Amino acid sequence: MNYSSFKYLTKQGWHNMRVNRLMSLASIGVLAACLVITGIAGLLSVNVNNFVDRLNDQNVVIIYLYDDITEQEKAALIASFTEENYITGYTYVSKDEALQEMIAQMEDYEDLFSAYGGDKNMLPASYRISMTDLDFYDEVVSFYTSQPGVEKVSSSAKVVNALITLKNIVNFVGWGLVAALGLVSLVVISNTIRLTVFARRKEINIMRFVGATNAFIRLPFMVEGITVGFLAAMLAFGIVFGAYVALLTLTAQNGAWVYNIFFDFVPYEKVWYWLLGAFCISGIFVGGIGSIASMRKHLKV
């Protein structure tokens, strides 16, 4: 196929969109709505994953030690910290350091703690270990609770498990929406182009009998479907991106506590190009596949 033929067939596809502009606008609207919902689900999933990952980075398990723990037991604990690849580091906090931390946290009541230094200090020494993956949290707590010299291990298992469950649910629902809405968009675009094909079925049959190739007949409808998908992608990106930027701006301007939450959102500079690329690829793919599916019956002679 030469350039002039390609140019003619491309214009013919755009002409079909103008002739069937109401159905084309309906297809763009439905596909854009599906992409908007999918984009919202995707951004929600990204932000939940980011929030959980930040908790991973900040997550610390505190292992409280008995006062009579031996040096050999301490050495065994230190060795176990370095053996596990999901433990990124550890810090030893002595009894005196634990007391100073408590005084710093409750500085208005510093006088109450002044008499509890030295031998009267009832706070335990501890190791604080940081982890890379919350999925190992229960395993770590269970292991170190049973180790010699360990009095107890701080455990927020319910909170951790709830966060992991939330992350998995959001990811599952997000991908489910992508699949369902993609199927809906595919059906709508296929039906739209099928109407155009049906209206021109006699012309298509004549073209087939005089020797026109499948590619020559299919290209205008492919152009129509791809254009519908691209326009829907641009519309959906504008809506989702504008709403996301507005959300980030709003949260940044509504007080200190909301401003702290703002930092848990993924900045739009890091997601806009992924969002645009995903919308364009999805829109063009759904439009193209919808065109091919609607043409199959009428290309048979």
Reported as a single tens digit per residue, the pLDDT across 52-82 is 666 655 567 888 999 888 889 888 888 888 8
Contact at 8 Å (CB) between 281 and 229?
A: no
pLDDT at 235: 92
89 and 129 Cβ atoms separated by less than 8 Å:
yes
Sheet holding 87-93, edge to edge: 87-93, 126-131, 60-65, 150-153
Question: Domains of the chain (ranges plus CATH)?
Answer: 3-55+161-299 (no CATH), 58-155 (3.30.70.3040)
List of the chain residues with pLDDT < 50: 255-262, 301
Amino acid letter for position 237: F
β-sheet bridge partners, residue 40: none
Please list the alpha-helical segments (H only) found in 110-266. 110-113, 137-145, 157-199, 201-209, 214-252, 256-262
- 225 burial (CB, 10 Å; 0-12 / 13-18 / 19+) is buried
Q: How far is CA 154 from CA 60, 108, 140, 141, 258, in A?
A: 9, 26, 11, 8, 29
**100 vs 114: CA distance, rounded Å:** 10
Look at phi and psi of residue 131 and say left if phi exceeds 0, alpha if psi is from -120 to 50, else beta: beta
Q: How many Å apart are CA 141 and CA 138, to the nearest integer? A: 5
Return the structure tokens found at 291.
């065109």
Report the pLDDT value the prediction gives residue 234, as an integer from 0 to 100: 93
